[in-house]
Structure 1
Amino acid sequence: MARPVWTGVLSFGLVSVPIGIYTATDSHTIHFHQLQRGTSDRIRNRRVNERTGEEVDLDDIVKGYDTGEEYVLVEPAELDDIAPGRSKTLEISGFVDLAEIDPIFFDRTYYVGPKGKEYTKVYALLEKALAKAERAGVATFVMRGREYLVALKAEDGILTLHTLHWADEIRDPREEVPDLPAASGRGTGSSREMKMAEQLITALGMRWDPEEFRDTYQDKVSALIKAKGAGETVEKAEAAAEATNVVDLTETLRASLERARGGGRRARGGGRRKAAASGKPLDSLTKAELYERATAAGIPGRSTMTRAELAEALTSSDSEAA
């Protein structure tokens, strides 16, 4: 059973319920230690006084703000004394349509649960009311020495808390990203190219199913570690696709559209037999050719597969079709 990362009181109007906030996601990133090349010696990060070179104990460290002329020193306890919401309250300021919150504002997600069975009625009431209204509660609260702006929403019978970026943390893309097209839309291509691009998007439409996707890079890192430990080598990834030449844009769009439409038709009927009957053995095909066959066969999850996984999936698909 997970431990809450924050406990306190959730209030809306004059109604309040003790809650716990729990981490909703987990990272499967493979972590490495740092070693000195040619040895098995660990590299450690230490807190060192840059003047004396001596290591400093954590209890002897204070925060310092550089004014340009000197440091203003601040003790951790002083930060706690001025923190808003020290009463451990998450008070909802109001309710908004979730669609009004731009996705760029969302940061992390947490689960919210009642702190005790005697509070489940109030908890369930708020969850069901939010679900029916299709709205999210907006609030601020303090966790681990930091104030957060959050959105509270109902999802499949549970309340979830989504931390949001503050408005002044969102950078203006026009100031940050060079070479963006004009906001007026000029220079985005001919009307024919635009129509073909829209048709391509429609042809490549799919139902969102997160289970079809997986972190293949971490799989490859695991395979690399296993192979190196056994003194073996692994297949290198293919080079990235070359940028589309603007001169060939129309022809590239047409070819993409034909492939997408053809793959869709074949996937709905008889495509597996066509894919299997093209002559070449699977082990002689490039990853791009295998992917094209997988598209024709309607194989799910193909966009995240390695070359070997595509070949294996096609072999299974051909066997089922036979």
Structure 2
Amino acid sequence: MARAMWSGTLSFGLVTVPVALYSATEDHSVRFRQLQRGTSDRVRNQRVNERTGEEVPYADVVKGFELAEGEYVVVEPQELEEISPGRSKTIEILGFVELDQVEPILFDKTYYLGPKGKEYAKVYALLREALGRTGKAGIAKFAMRGREYLTAVHAEGDTLTLHTMHFADEVRDPHGEVDNLPEADLALQERELKAAEQLIGMLAMEWRPDDYHDDYEARVRELVEAKLEGREVVRSEEPVVATNVVDLMEVLNRSMAAVGRAPAPTAESEPESERPVVAAKEKAKSAARKAAGTAAAKAAKPTGSRLGELTKAQLYEKASELDVKGRSSMTRDELQEAVEKAAGPKRRLKAVS
């Protein structure tokens, strides 16, 4: 079992329960050491006096708050400890809010809260069940490692989860940070909005976090393994081209056609504003007529020709079913080729013919 990062008391009203805090996530990033090129010598960071170039012992390091260039207010470590909120050992819930009222941008890190001992399980379960039934989150402050945190505590399954949060004044105003933001009253064509909304609806899916993987981490590991074996890894990515505003409607229509649920509308068909909607309706009718005759085909493994119609996400799902190795680092075309091979030689020959 993991060791607790912090322990103290969780309280709401006059009800208190001793709790321990555990990290809810872990970082799987590939770690590298710094070496001097051409050697196996480690490169380490040191505390060095900028003026003399000499290393400074940790015991001789103090804090300095800069007032002006070269002018500081010096603060000793003991002075910071005396005013540190780290001595507090209580997560005091100040009040309860609807969890969906808290903007996602305010959330920082996530932790699990557990009862500090079996004898506190009932009080812990009481708060967990009450929060679960009401859908509320408790807003609280607590201190850890010399810093005070604003937090939200809520029930998630059979566990209490604590999210550390940014204070409101720590969130930057996007209008002061982001260039070229469109004006709030920018005129948009209704037909383009309807097409964009329809495309979003066509791409709607069930959220399954297990379907997503860190492709970059897999590629880094592949690079390390390849270099260890003396191989060279070369990857080419297709350049991303910005959407031409003039052809926005055409791009939206082609996007819907690519999803495979609506044929690309023609200029001579329905009125421009109705084309994407009508196209989707016609496709739905066609799909209903063919449903009875295609049940067996859908149940079978996909042939090469059908694979060409699938998105990368759909191909990844097929690759997962067939246990294709290295699928998380593959491009869409590589996934299609791997699925074709894994499906068997007979199906590949049938697709070629």
TM-score category by the smaller chain? 0.7 to 0.9
Preserved CA contact (<8 Å) 1:271 1:296: no
Residues 1:56 and 2:82 aligned together: no
Aligned AA (1:306): M
Distance 1:316 1:274, change over 3 A: closer
- Deviation at 1:277? 5.3
Q: Determine the structure 2 residue equivalent to 1:283.
A: none
Question: Which one of 292, 296, 303 corresponds to residue 276 of structure 1?
Answer: 303
- Deviation at 1:38? 2.4
Q: Determine the structure 2 residue equivalent to 1:42.
A: 42
Query: Mean alpha-carbon deviation: is it higher for 100-109 or for 56-65?
Result: 56-65
- Deviation at 1:37? 2.1
Aligned AA (2:22): Y
- Deviation at 1:296? 9.2
Preserved CA contact (<8 Å) 1:35 1:41: yes
Query: What TM-score, normalized by structure 1, do the two folds share?
Result: 0.87
Preserved CA contact (<8 Å) 2:107 2:166: yes
Aligned AA (1:15): V
Alpha-carbon distance in 2 for matches of 1:84, 1:200: 51
Distance 1:196 1:120, change over 3 A: same
Q: Determine the structure 2 residue equivalent to 1:287.
A: none
Query: After the TM superposition, which residues 141-156 of structure 1 pair with which residues of structure 2 at under 5 Å, given as runs?
Result: 141-156=142-157
Alpha-carbon distance in 2 for matches of 1:205, 1:215: 22
Q: SS where residue 262 of structure 1 aligns?
A: coil
Q: SS where residue 87 of structure 2 aligns?
A: coil
Alpha-carbon distance in 2 for matches of 1:99, 1:45: 43
Alpha-carbon distance in 2 for matches of 1:48, 1:220: 37
RMSD: 2.9
Q: Determine the structure 1 residue equivalent to 2:324.
A: none
Distance 1:296 1:221, change over 3 A: closer
- Deviation at 1:35? 1.8
- Deviation at 1:223? 0.4
Query: After the TM superposition, which residues 62-211 of structure 1 pair with which residues of structure 2 at under 5 Å, given as runs?
Result: 62-68=62-68, 70-84=71-85, 86-184=87-185, 186-187=186-187, 189-211=188-210
Query: After the TM superposition, which residues 193-232 of structure 1 pair with which residues of structure 2 at under 5 Å, given as runs?
Result: 193-232=192-231
Alpha-carbon distance in 2 for matches of 1:226, 1:296: 25
- Deviation at 1:77? 2.3
Residues 1:306 and 2:330 aligned together: yes
Preserved CA contact (<8 Å) 2:260 2:309: no
Alpha-carbon distance in 2 for matches of 1:43, 1:233: 26
- Deviation at 1:315? 3.8
Distance 1:314 1:243, change over 3 A: farther
Alpha-carbon distance in 2 for matches of 1:84, 1:92: 16
- Deviation at 1:276? 2.9
Query: Mean alpha-carbon deviation: is it higher for 308-317 or for 149-158?
Result: 308-317
Distance 1:51 1:29, change over 3 A: same
Counting aligned pairs with the same residue, the percent is 50
Q: Determine the structure 1 residue equivalent to 2:19.
A: 19
Preserved CA contact (<8 Å) 1:62 1:76: yes
Once the two structures are superposed, residues 61-99 of structure 1 have per-residue CA deviations (whole angstroms, 9 ceiling, x without a partner) of: 111100116211112222221123623111000000001
Distance 1:52 1:298, change over 3 A: closer
Q: SS where residue 112 of structure 2 aligns?
A: strand
Preserved CA contact (<8 Å) 1:21 1:112: yes
Q: SS where residue 110 of structure 2 aligns?
A: strand
Structure 2 runs not aligned, ≥5 long = 263-283, 319-326
Alpha-carbon distance in 1 for matches of 2:345, 2:19: 53
> Which ranges of 4 or more aligned residues in structure 1 deviate by more than 6 Å?
263-268, 271-275, 318-322
Alpha-carbon distance in 2 for matches of 1:190, 1:47: 60
Alpha-carbon distance in 2 for matches of 1:8, 1:306: 46
- Deviation at 1:299? 3.5
Distance 1:140 1:319, change over 3 A: farther
Distance 1:55 1:320, change over 3 A: farther
Alpha-carbon distance in 2 for matches of 1:148, 1:319: 59
- Deviation at 1:278? 3.5
Alpha-carbon distance in 1 for matches of 2:32, 2:223: 13
Query: Mean alpha-carbon deviation: is it higher for 293-302 or for 68-77?
Result: 293-302
Aligned AA (2:47): R
Preserved CA contact (<8 Å) 1:105 1:166: yes
Query: What TM-score, normalized by structure 2, do the two folds share?
Result: 0.80
Aligned AA (1:76): P
Preserved CA contact (<8 Å) 1:138 1:151: yes
Q: Determine the structure 2 residue equivalent to 1:285.
A: none
**Bigger Rg, structure 1 or 2:** 2
Residues matched between the structures, number: 309
